[in-house]
Amino acid sequence: MTIGPLTILSEEEKIFRDQVLSFAQQRVAPWVQEMDEAMALRPDLLKMCFDLGLMAIEIPENLGGAGSSFFNACLAIEALASVDASLAVLVDVHNTLVINAILRWGTPEQRESYLPRLAADTVGAYALSEATSGSDAFALKCRAERRQDHWILDGSKLWITNGKEAGIFIVLANANPSAGYRGITAFVVERGFEGFAVGKKENKLGIRASSTCELIFDGCVVPDQNVLGPVGKGYKVAIETLNEGRIGIGAQMVGIAQGAFDHAMGYLRERKQFDTRICDFQGVQFQLAELATEIEAARLLVYNAARLREAGVPFLTQAAMAKLFSSRVAEKVASRCIDLFGGVGYSREYPAEKYYRDAKIGQIYEGTSNMQLLTVARQLIQQYGG
């Protein structure tokens, strides 16, 4: 893999990126096809991610983490996705959604209780989506009712990434339906809480090794101290966290595109037709140049959004643009690479078809492409005076 552009990474960032990439290529790559067919991640690879610190990139050192940056989290997601998008999205959701939500909104007691566990051995999941709540994210049916010193959650969640592996869940429920979205409240729910269960696992087109599950809340008892952020401000927790999460998905899409491209380049340099390497035909070279340019453009959009987030300046528009463009590029590159492989590209004996299946989700989860277009358009109208 030849990730670039190197000139905008510090030496420390390059070293970190290369270490994650080396782990992915040496330890993850041999199991990718088997995990895809089994629809499950290998537990030993998950443990390695914890041992390497990939599950605690932004967690402060005094709480067991690396004390590193959001940008490095994106570099890790990109590098992992170039080999396996399923493992990448587990690391992504754990870092950019769950840990970020607790870092930003958690009380000191919540941070001290949950962040060391998330750093050491416990996977996190983020539960917002429901059967009737997709792009209309706040049409939640899941309810929360206050009872003395605890809350009772009733309802269900769908399409929850990491549902099978997670031990800690950020759950959005409405504590005051009459107030609409202003009743939405965030909770930290542990797998062992009374009345909580993980339901069926979805059988998906792509990222098949990543678990996507239903969550069931049947009188789930949640202690009062597990409210994340102010009561009724869950919509802010969701919006701000997802804005950051979209940058992570952008990084995943760049990784998918780069991984597909790298495999295609390896094949085209070896495969000959008419006594000529396929990569030496000008028509193919033009396609490769076009794809490489679009991958680089997507990467720069993602990196820019991540840098803006780290600088503490507005990044909503840039995050939406990054996710929109990178997801389109991932699907285009993965599709074109199948074409470049020819007949074998359509076979599961070669990796091209898996990258194509994995790429499709980028235009759907954590905000569809249409929602990203809407976000960008609204920001533009506001910028030009309403």
User: Could you give the percent of the chain with pLDDT greater than 90?
Assistant: 96
The residue assigned the tokens 């309810």 is 143
Per-residue pLDDT tens digits for 138-177: 899 999 999 999 999 999 999 999 999 999 999 999 999 9
What local confidence, expressed as pLDDT, does residue 6 receive? 45
Q: Which two tokens stand for residue 288?
A: 């490769």
CA distance 275 to 12: 44
The residue assigned the tokens 């094949």 is 267
What fold is seen in the domain 125-232? Butyryl-CoA Dehydrogenase, subunit A; domain 2 (2.40.110)
Per-residue pLDDT tens digits for 169-222: 999 999 999 999 999 999 999 999 999 999 999 999 999 999 999 999 999 999
Backbone φ and ψ of 220, nearest 5°: -70, 125
CA distance 244 to 105: 14
Pure H helices in the chain: 11-23, 32-38, 43-51, 70-81, 85-92, 100-105, 108-120, 234-270, 282-311, 316-341, 352-359, 369-383
CA distance 88 to 335: 20
pLDDT for 17 beyond 50:
yes
pLDDT for 4 beyond 50:
no
End-to-end alpha-carbon separation of the chain, Å? 44
What local confidence, expressed as pLDDT, does residue 327 receive? 98
Q: Regarding the domain with residue range 6-123, which homologous superfamily does it belong to in the CATH classification?
A: Acyl-CoA dehydrogenase/oxidase, N-terminal domain (1.10.540.10)
* CATH number at 236-383: 1.20.140.10
Per-residue pLDDT tens digits for 55-113: 999 999 999 999 999 999 999 999 999 999 999 999 999 999 999 999 999 999 999 99
Pairing of strands 212-223, 150-161: antiparallel
Backbone φ and ψ of 173, nearest 5°: -140, 160
CA distance 55 to 27: 17
Q: What is the DSSP code (8-state) at residue 202?
A: P
Please write down the long-range contacts of 25-31, taking CB distance under 8 Å and 24 or more positions apart: 25/1, 25/83, 28/80, 28/83, 28/84, 28/87, 29/83, 29/84
Mean pLDDT of 355-375: 97
Length of the chain: 386
- Reduced to 3 DSSP states, what percent helix, strand and coil does the chain have, rounded to the nearest 5? 60, 15, 25
What local confidence, expressed as pLDDT, does residue 7 receive? 52
The residue assigned the tokens 């503490």 is 312
What local confidence, expressed as pLDDT, does residue 27 receive? 98
Q: Which two tokens stand for residue 167?
A: 């031990």
- Rounded to two decimals, what is the model's pTM? 0.96
Q: Which two tokens stand for residue 232?
A: 């009724």
pLDDT confidence band for 137 (50 / 70 / 90): confident
What local confidence, expressed as pLDDT, does residue 134 receive? 86
What local confidence, expressed as pLDDT, does residue 308 receive? 97
Q: Are 242 and 174 in contact (CB under 8 A)?
A: no
pLDDT confidence band for 350 (50 / 70 / 90): very high
Q: Where are the domains positioned within the chain?
A: 6-123, 125-232, 236-383
What local confidence, expressed as pLDDT, does residue 8 receive? 78
The catalytic residue positions are: 366
User: 3-state DSSP call for residue 299?
Assistant: helix
* Same fold? 125-232, 236-383: no
Q: What is the CA radius of gyration of the chain?
A: 21
